[in-house]
Structures are given as structure tokens and as C-alpha cells.
Chains A and B, each alone.
Chain A
């Protein structure tokens, strides 16, 4: 026990003096998440907060052929502006991004309407341009509803109720709470936290194994009258501490930056108060043991600091895999899933942010399973440290 403490203390002091470790533990991990998150939020705000009250400038070719349609559009807060001279000019203009969307009304429009022949209207747009999607949708929706109004009028004139055209009335009832909606986006958070946690201990895990060997300090260390298992336990514990520091910084950072994000405008009320921060920390921190032992294990196999860095970076991606699969398949949390480290933390955190009550069985299974996996990996590390080939 004394050995473990001695090694732990030495690694902590050593790494607090190492700028590389400090950068990754105290700066990069905790800041990466909030910054990227703020960026994504602002981007999606721009995209989805299409204020219907804002008027849309719509270039139209041949507006003179459909004066009634034009006044209908104007009454829907769409401002008609003169479009390009010709159809080909419009296609070019849309293709090179000069216009987002152009509406073309052929000169046969009025004639076709009068003859009750479907009158063509062309909406020229670039489907690949996500920016234009919103404007296009708004323009086509307005055109369609004009068409429906015309149809209703024609039926009324013939003494038929327009309701005959609407056999169904489909009404969507959205039961998601504001917090629930935010969870989709905030689900990303759990990965940021796990990422912050892992980067926090990454340098230490590498330095205490591959780095120690590269520096030539491993051999004298192994000559000491101490159990090798104790050396590795001390090192893994030190990595856990740095991971916990990085995680708590990252959580605190989010607590403050979320206040400055206009989430309410997106219909989200994220539940991220001080108590949630604390619970989130307690739910996530067992993963530090898995992360630290896994990174130490991977780094033990490598010959140099550089090689270790390459391989350990792969470990940074590993916890995303289960999260990704579950996000795509939209799986509901179950006791079975709580046995998978990183996934169980993700599901618990999402529930927490959604303001759902914590399922204590799930918490217990998650913490227990994660710690057992971590202990197993630590044991494998200790076995590896007994090998002769360790010195390379």
C-alpha cells in the first residue's frame, strides 16, 4: 500500500509539472467540448430558427403571367423580386449559389388554369445546398396551398364540398417535453465528457509506461525491491485522478457556458444545474478506471512515446462506438445495456438531462460493471508488467 501511495504521489507531482499533461488535462479536454457544442448549437439555431415572420425575397420569372398568385404570395409575407432573364440564367444562378431558389412561371400558365389543365410552375433549387432548403420549403408550401385554395374554389363553384378532397385529417401530437427535445442534442454531451475524461489521463498513461521505458527510467525502477503490481496500480490511480480532474472541469465548464447558449429559443430547457453536475460526475467517474487501465494497457505494448500516442488516440474513439450505434438505433435504456461501459454512462446521462428519475438499479449495474471491467483491465496490466519483454 505504501508503495502504491509513493508511486501515485510521484506521478501526480511529476505530471503537474509537465506542460504537455497539464495542457491536455486542464485545457484541451475541458474546453474542446463546450466550444464545439456552442458552435453546433449556433449553427443549428441559424438553420432551424426560420422565423416565419421574417419576409422571404423570392425571385420569380414571369410574374406577370400570374398576378393573383403573386398577390397571394405577398399576403404570405413573401416579397416578389425580379428573377433572372431566362430559365437557363436561373439554373446557372442557382447552381453557382447566386440564388437559393427561383420560381419560373411559363407564359402558358394563365391559359392552362383557365382550361382546367394542370398548370406547371417550376421551382429551381439546389437540393445539395442545405441553406436553401428552408426557403425552398417555404416557397413550395405557399405554392401548394394556393393550389389547394384554387381546387376548393372550383369544387365550391360546382356545388361540391371541398371537404370531399380531405378524407383524412392527420394530426401529429408531439409528446416530447422541452427537456426531451434538448436531449437529442445534449446526448452529444456524454461523449464530450468521456472525451475530456480520457484526454485528461492520456499523457500520464503514456508517460508512465512507454515514456518511462524510452527515458531509460523503467529498468532501474524495476530493480527496486517492490512488487511490480504496486507500481502499475499507483500509475493507474494517478491517471484516474487526472481524468477525474479533467471531467469535473469539463462539467463545470458546461454548466457555465450553457447559460450563454440561446437554448430556450430552440425549445430546450437543459437540466444542468449544480446538482446535476455533481450527479453526472458521480455517474461518469467510474469510467476513469476503464480509461486509465485501457490506455496503460495499450501504451505498454508500444516501443516509444510517439507510437503510444498513435495507439492511445484510437482508445479515444473506442467509447464512441456503442454510443453511436445506440443513437442511430434509438435504443431505450435497459438493464442489459448498463453492463456496457461508456454506453451505460451515456444512457444515464441522457436520462439525467431529460429530467427523468434515476433508475437506481441501472446506476448500480453501470457503476458495478464499469468498475469490474476496469479492475480486470488493471489486472491484465499488472500481468503484463511481470513480463520480461517489458523492457523491450
Chain B
């Protein structure tokens, strides 16, 4: 379970996140939705402890991400922006490298890597060097890498960026499987349809603040818009009236 409470973070003069609070429960897929520059990535980066918040707190399964960084990191599997694989290593070696860094016992690494390779269906290219992999293949390997230690909480930053229809569909299936296994999945996107197709709960973020936090039907009711895209735009305008002009 991930809990974020009144998070603030600024870079110089730019207030990227201004008091974001929400909770993402186990066994649910929570979508972090917002336009570019809304503060989604900053919030996620605070959660996987790459950034330190100026104020406010965030906990992973009750573990504070600021005071107990290392323990918090051990509880998450994260897929930051872009895959970031090592091109000279094979897919299997990329995954095994992370498994070892997650401090898995040496004799369990191979089995765990094979298990996640089976789960994500990447046997076909598991022993090829990742140089020249397609975007979809790269994302799958990166996802496998972040799931190899079977984390309770999974953070995905715009995972479907650059994926084709087939790859997106298979990614969605994997995310649903995680949910069915009782994991807490938090993922960010700027595409309403994507979030709607997958999420149980949606947190709409705009201008560094939470505009709405509800189910899809709840968002339709709150904004009075049947069309999801209209609802999205209206929710954003509630906290950031200038959004339409600047967009």
C-alpha cells in the first residue's frame, strides 16, 4: 500500500508538486493521470526515493521513503521513464543483474529470473543482447527486471509510451495479473483512455495538485461529463484555469 500525504517539491523557482495526497491500495490499480508537467513523474520519483520531498510524507507499506529509504526501495519494483537496459548484456543478464542487486540469495537468482521470463513471455529473446530490441521488447524486459524480486508495490512511469497496440494490450494483461495477485500497482499516464481501460481508481493531477481522486464513474459524476476526455479536461480546469490556453 502506498500513502502520500501533502507532498511538496520544488526545483528552484518551479513548484512541481504542491501538496499532493492520495492512497493506493493493495489489489488495486491506481492511475496517476495528468497533462505533461503536472507533477506525475516528480511524485513517482519521490516514491522510489530518487528525490527527497521539501515537505510532506510518503510511505510504502508504512515504511517512510525519506527516513528509511533503503527499506522502502526494497518494497517496490519500479519502471522509471524509458527502459534503460544495458545494450551489451542479454535480456536475461539484465534481469539477473537487478535480481542480485535486490540482494536475492545467489542460488535463487536463476530460478527467479526464469520465472519472470516465463511470466512475461520473453523466452524468445531472453538470451539475445538487448541492443536493437524493439520498444515493446525493451519495456517487457525492463518490467521483468523490476518484478523479479516479486515486490508488493509496483510503480510504473508512463509504461505504454512508444508501444504499439499489441504490446500495449499484453502490458495491460500483465498489470491486471499483478492486481489479481494482490499487488499494489501505481502507474502514471497522460492518456485518459489508457487509464480508463485499466484502473480501479484514478488520481487526476494538474499543476502539482490533486484535482480529483475517484473511480471512473465517480469522476463522470463529479464533472458532469459523460465523455471521459471532457471529464479529464474539466477536472484539470478546476485546479488550473489556465490549462486550456497553455496547452
**CA separation between A54 and B60, bound complex, in Å?**
88
B170-198 residues at the A interface, CB under 8 angstroms = none
Contact indicator A388/B145 (Cβ below 8 Å)? no
Query: Considering only CB atoms, which chain A residue lies closest to B97 in the complex?
Result: A10
For residue A252, which residues in chain B have a CB less than 8 angstroms away from its CB?
A: none
**CA separation between A215 and B80, bound complex, in Å?**
12
A46 on the B face (CB < 8 A): no
Q: Nearest Cβ in chain B — how far from A68, in angstroms?
A: 80
For residue A225, which residues in chain B have a CB less than 8 angstroms away from its CB?
A: 70-71, 73-74, 101-103
For residue B58, which residues in chain A have a CB less than 8 angstroms away from its CB?
A: none
A388-B50 CB under 8 A given contacts A3-B101, A17-B88, A219-B81: yes
A289-334 residues at the B interface, CB under 8 angstroms = none
Contact indicator A14/B88 (Cβ below 8 Å)? yes
For residue B129, which residues in chain A have a CB less than 8 angstroms away from its CB?
A: 17
For residue B71, which residues in chain A have a CB less than 8 angstroms away from its CB?
A: 225
Query: Considering only CB atoms, which chain B residue lies closest to A224 in the complex?
Result: B101
The contact of A223 among B76, B85, B87, B100, by CB within 8 Å, is B76
A2-B49 CB under 8 A given contacts A14-B88, A216-B82, A220-B78: no
B142 on the A face (CB < 8 A): yes
Contact indicator B70/A218 (Cβ below 8 Å)? no
For residue A219, which residues in chain B have a CB less than 8 angstroms away from its CB?
A: 45, 50, 80-82, 84
B133 on the A face (CB < 8 A): no
Per-position 1/0 for B137-154, Cβ under 8 A of A: 000001001100000000
Contact indicator B100/A6 (Cβ below 8 Å)? yes
The contact of A388 among B51, B73, B79, by CB within 8 Å, is B51
A113 on the B face (CB < 8 A): no
Contact indicator A216/B84 (Cβ below 8 Å)? yes
A227 on the B face (CB < 8 A): yes
For residue B50, which residues in chain A have a CB less than 8 angstroms away from its CB?
A: 219, 222-223, 388, 391
B98 on the A face (CB < 8 A): yes
For residue A18, which residues in chain B have a CB less than 8 angstroms away from its CB?
A: 88
For residue B80, which residues in chain A have a CB less than 8 angstroms away from its CB?
A: 216, 219-220, 223
Contact indicator A2/B84 (Cβ below 8 Å)? no
A130 on the B face (CB < 8 A): no
Q: Nearest Cβ in chain A — how far from B204, in angstroms?
A: 25
**CA separation between A220 and B78, bound complex, in Å?**
7
Per-position 1/0 for B16-58, Cβ under 8 A of A: 0000000000000000000000000000010011111000000
For residue A282, which residues in chain B have a CB less than 8 angstroms away from its CB?
A: none
**CA separation between A24 and B230, bound complex, in Å?**
57
Query: Considering only CB atoms, which chain B residue lies closest to A222 in the complex?
Result: B50
Contact indicator B142/A220 (Cβ below 8 Å)? yes
For residue B243, which residues in chain A have a CB less than 8 angstroms away from its CB?
A: none
**CA separation between A221 and B81, bound complex, in Å?**
12
A380 on the B face (CB < 8 A): no
Q: Nearest Cβ in chain B — how far from A384, in angstroms?
A: 15
**CA separation between A224 and B103, bound complex, in Å?**
10
A55 on the B face (CB < 8 A): no
Query: Considering only CB atoms, which chain B residue lies closest to A19 in the complex?
Result: B88
A42 on the B face (CB < 8 A): no
For residue A14, which residues in chain B have a CB less than 8 angstroms away from its CB?
A: 86, 88-89
Contact indicator A6/B101 (Cβ below 8 Å)? yes
**CA separation between A216 and B82, bound complex, in Å?**
6
For residue A227, which residues in chain B have a CB less than 8 angstroms away from its CB?
A: 70
B93 on the A face (CB < 8 A): yes
Q: Nearest Cβ in chain A — how far from B67, in angstroms?
A: 15
Query: Considering only CB atoms, which chain A residue lies closest to B9 in the complex?
Result: A388
Q: Nearest Cβ in chain B — how far from A310, in angstroms?
A: 23
For residue B103, which residues in chain A have a CB less than 8 angstroms away from its CB?
A: 2-3, 225-226
**CA separation between A26 and B26, bound complex, in Å?**
52
Contact indicator A388/B76 (Cβ below 8 Å)? no
A13 on the B face (CB < 8 A): yes
Among B48, B51, B82, B88, residue most surrounded by chain A Cβ atoms (within 10 Å): B88
Contact indicator B101/A226 (Cβ below 8 Å)? yes
A217 on the B face (CB < 8 A): yes
The contact of B79 among A3, A218, A220, A224, by CB within 8 Å, is A220
B228 on the A face (CB < 8 A): no
Q: Nearest Cβ in chain A — how far from B90, in angstroms?
A: 10
**CA separation between A222 and B97, bound complex, in Å?**
13
For residue B51, which residues in chain A have a CB less than 8 angstroms away from its CB?
A: 388
Contact indicator B84/A224 (Cβ below 8 Å)? no
The contact of A215 among B76, B79, B84, B97, by CB within 8 Å, is B84
The contact of A224 among B45, B83, B98, B142, by CB within 8 Å, is B98
**CA separation between A15 and B78, bound complex, in Å?**
26
Contact indicator B84/A218 (Cβ below 8 Å)? yes
**CA separation between A219 and B42, bound complex, in Å?**
13
For residue A3, which residues in chain B have a CB less than 8 angstroms away from its CB?
A: 101, 103
Contact indicator B89/A13 (Cβ below 8 Å)? yes
A1-51 residues at the B interface, CB under 8 angstroms = 2-3, 6-7, 10, 13-15, 17-18
For residue B102, which residues in chain A have a CB less than 8 angstroms away from its CB?
A: 224-225
Contact indicator B74/A220 (Cβ below 8 Å)? no
23 contacting pairs across A/B (C-beta < 8 A): A6-B101, A10-B89, A13-B88, A13-B93, A14-B86, A216-B81, A216-B82, A216-B84, A217-B86, A218-B84, A219-B45, A219-B80, A220-B78, A220-B142, A221-B101, A223-B48, A223-B73, A223-B76, A224-B102, A225-B73, A225-B103, A226-B103, A388-B51
Q: What 5 A-B pairs are tightest by C-beta distance, nearest first?
A: A217-B84, A216-B82, A225-B74, A216-B84, A225-B73
Starting from the known contacts A223-B73, A226-B101, 18 additional A-B residue pairs (CB-CB under 8 Å) come to A17-B89, A17-B129, A18-B88, A215-B85, A216-B80, A216-B82, A216-B84, A219-B80, A219-B82, A221-B84, A222-B50, A223-B78, A224-B73, A224-B101, A225-B71, A225-B74, A225-B103, A226-B70
